[in-house]
Amino acid sequence: MGAQWKAKHKDIAANAKGRIFGKLSKDIMLAARSGADPAANSHLRLLIEQARKASMPKDTLDRAIKKGAGLTGEAVNFERVIYEGFAPHQVAVMVECLTDNLNRTAPEMRVLFRKGQLGTSGSVAWDFDHVGMIEAEPKAPGADPEVAAIEAGAQDFEPGEEDGNTLFLTDPTDLDVVSRALPNHGFTVLSAKLGYKPKNPVNPANLSAEHLEEVEAFLAAIDANDDVQHVYVALAG
């Protein structure tokens, strides 16, 4: 779980793909405000690469870029907002939303946090590091993530336990530089973004099965909200 929680119980494939494309489209539209040319907009370039790896249809990708850049005449009014608090049993959570209507999102978050505890700005942020997160897979067996991290300029790395991928952690300002460098050191970048890594994650083994299930149910409900982009939780593993 660690830096970013991922729901264990997936929707059917079509719905899951739709949610992924929806979240990516929002990020792309927001990034495209700074220009539709990926060569001059590193954030947009990284998101385009991520969208292609996720098999986003070209029409969907192009429409998101044009809409965000103001080339379609449609207004893009997404605002990024972070909600902080606790899941059940005092597990710290940071929820990143992209919304076009705070009057809708704020009360929805208050309802969702009723099974936990919604905090004020900064109430749990102090216990997370703001970092660049790059998920990458080895191009060939035997690729050494430690060597790649050092050579590419990453601060740290976390080997994947299930899929064999590696999470490379960077200073926020180095996200694009490290993303460009990793392919030269044996790794293919799957996604790259800024996110939050817990400083003192809770060991799931210290929670009872019932309590862990309550935490998972809370996180699943949060993640299902249409305005939620990313959920960061202080759980180890």
Residue type, 168: F
Domain match, 117 and 153 both: no
Domain match, 154 and 189 both: yes
Q: Could you report the per-residue pLDDT of 165-202, keeping only the tens digit for each? A: 899 999 999 998 999 999 999 999 888 889 999 999 99
Provide CB contacts within 8 A for 181, sequence distance 6+. 151, 152, 153
Domain match, 105 and 215 both: yes
Q: Is 177 helix (H, G, I), strand (E, B) or coil?
A: helix
Domain match, 22 and 113 both: no
Total structural domains in the chain? Answer: 3
Q: What's the mean pLDDT in 148-166?
A: 87
CATH code of the domain covering residue 204: 3.30.70.980
pLDDT of residue 10: 44
Domain match, 122 and 217 both: yes
Q: For residue 1, tell me if it sits in a domain.
A: no
More confidently predicted of 1 and 47: 47
pLDDT category of residue 6 using cuts at 50, 70 and 90: low
Domain match, 193 and 134 both: yes
* Whole-number Å distance between alpha carbons of 98 and 30: 9
Domain match, 115 and 203 both: yes
Q: For residue 213, tell me if it sits in a domain.
A: yes
Answer yes or no: is pLDDT of 81 > 50. Answer: yes
Domain match, 107 and 120 both: yes
Domain match, 135 and 192 both: yes
Residue that is last in its domain, among 46, 68, 90: 68
Q: For residue 8, tell me if it sits in a domain.
A: no
Q: Could you report the per-residue pLDDT of 92-147, keeping only the tens digit for each? A: 999 999 999 999 999 999 999 999 999 999 999 999 999 999 999 999 888 899 99
CATH code of the domain covering residue 23: 1.10.10.200
Domain match, 109 and 48 both: no
pLDDT of residue 43: 83
Q: What sign does the dihedral 48-52-57-58 (CA atoms) show? A: positive
Q: For residue 211, tell me if it sits in a domain.
A: yes
Q: For residue 74, tell me if it sits in a domain.
A: no
Helices (H), 69-208: 102-112, 145-152, 175-181
Q: For residue 7, tell me if it sits in a domain.
A: no
More confidently predicted of 81 and 73: 81
pTM: 0.81
**Residue numbers of the domain that contains 59:** 13-68
pLDDT category of residue 15 using cuts at 50, 70 and 90: low
Answer yes or no: is pLDDT of 216 > 50. Answer: yes
Q: For residue 151, tell me if it sits in a domain.
A: yes
Q: Could you report the per-residue pLDDT of 48-80, keeping only the tens digit for each? A: 988 988 899 999 999 999 999 988 888 778 889
Helices (H), the chain: 13-32, 42-53, 58-68, 102-112, 145-152, 175-181, 209-223
Per-residue DSSP letter, 159 = E
Q: For residue 5, tell me if it sits in a domain.
A: no
pLDDT of residue 190: 84
pLDDT of residue 19: 80
Domain match, 203 and 122 both: yes
pLDDT of residue 12: 43
pLDDT of residue 11: 45
Half-sphere exposure of 224 toward its Cβ, with a 13 Å CA cutoff? 12
